[in-house]
Amino acid sequence: MAKTISILGCGWLGVPLGKALLKSGCRVKGSVASVSKKKGLKVAGIIPFTINLNPESIFIEDEDFFETGILVVSIPPKRIENIEDVYPNQLKQIIPFIIKHGVEKVQKVLFISSTSVYPEKNKIVKEEDAINPGKASGEALLKVERLFRDNANTKTTVLRFGGLIGAGRNPSRFLSRKTNPVDGGNPLNLIHQDDCIGIIKTIIEKNAWGEVFNACCPEHPAKKDFYEYAAKVSGKPLPDFKAQDGNYKIVDSSKLVKLLDYRFKYSTPMDYLREIGNGQ
């Protein structure tokens, strides 16, 4: 493990990741967008910094944040107009600070991306299939991936997570969002928070830099099966289902499993539902 790791964006994933890295003996720096959130980081043992990335400007409380062995970038694009242009403009502002303060000549960066970079063409997708996502958020993420990977001053690994579950993201939230009929036969691409953290730690431990990895549960249950079980354990009503006529994708994470020798804690998101059902 690197002695110092900085996490740009300490939210749902960044805070528990920081705690896990602290247990591994790392010194962890973390950033939040507002001063009011710093106390929570400090209590967790994470050295707090305020960094606010606005589309046209950047606020950095202390550039010491970038004095680090590894920089984890965990800031997802927001659902706003022109995000495919706004998001890259936000993230490119930190490149000069990476170059200026990187502990090594080529700074190691772990960029947290998403499987939204893949188009839905009713097939299995691998890392090389991220072309023309068809969604603004996917286009935004692809641009930022290239921003880091094409920069000679960063040695970047991109980690593309599927839909995030676990730790406060109860499956019942999927049910409450469904106001229109659901394509019940379409497969799901989900990953539990524990596996997100486990994979990041494994990348760092094995120095797997300069790579692109998909990260989803190896098994992809149909939406109907997942939602029916989620309704059972949460007590919420089922959405209406329709015959499968929508587009989908199945995200293949076999490269990660093979190259990192990683074993998923949750090989299927159904395991997480069973935990909830058993009161764990």
pLDDT at position 257, please? Answer: 97
- Residue 278 domain flag: no
Is 280's pLDDT higher than 60? Answer: no
Is 239's pLDDT higher than 90? Answer: no
- Reported as half-sphere exposure (CB side, CA atoms, 13 A), residue 198 has a value of 17
Average pLDDT over residues 190-218: 97
Q: What global pTM score does this model have?
A: 0.94
Per DSSP, the three-state class of 46 is: coil
Q: Which residue has the higher pLDDT, 35 or 2?
A: 35
The strand pairing partners of 115, in sequence order, are none
Number of domains in the chain: 1
Is 158's pLDDT higher than 70? Answer: yes
- Residue 124 domain flag: yes
Q: Which residue has the higher pLDDT, 181 or 98?
A: 98
Instruction: Give the C-alpha separation, 82 to 58, whole Å.
Output: 19
Residues 269, 217 contacting (CB under 8 angstroms)? yes
- Residue 274 domain flag: no
Q: Which residue has the higher pLDDT, 75 or 56?
A: 75
Band (pLDDT 50/70/90 cuts) for residue 15 is very high
- Residue 231 domain flag: no
DSSP-derived secondary structure for 203-248: HHHTT--S-EEEE--S---BHHHHHHHHHHHH-PPPPPEE-S-S--
Is 180's pLDDT higher than 60? Answer: yes
- Residue 176 domain flag: no
Instruction: Find the domain containing 70 and state its range.
Output: 4-167+188-217+251-259
| Cα angle 186, 269, 188; round to 5 | 20
The CATH number of the domain where 154 resides is what?
Answer: 3.40.50.720
- Residue 135 domain flag: yes
Instruction: Give the C-alpha separation, 238 to 194, whole Å.
Output: 27
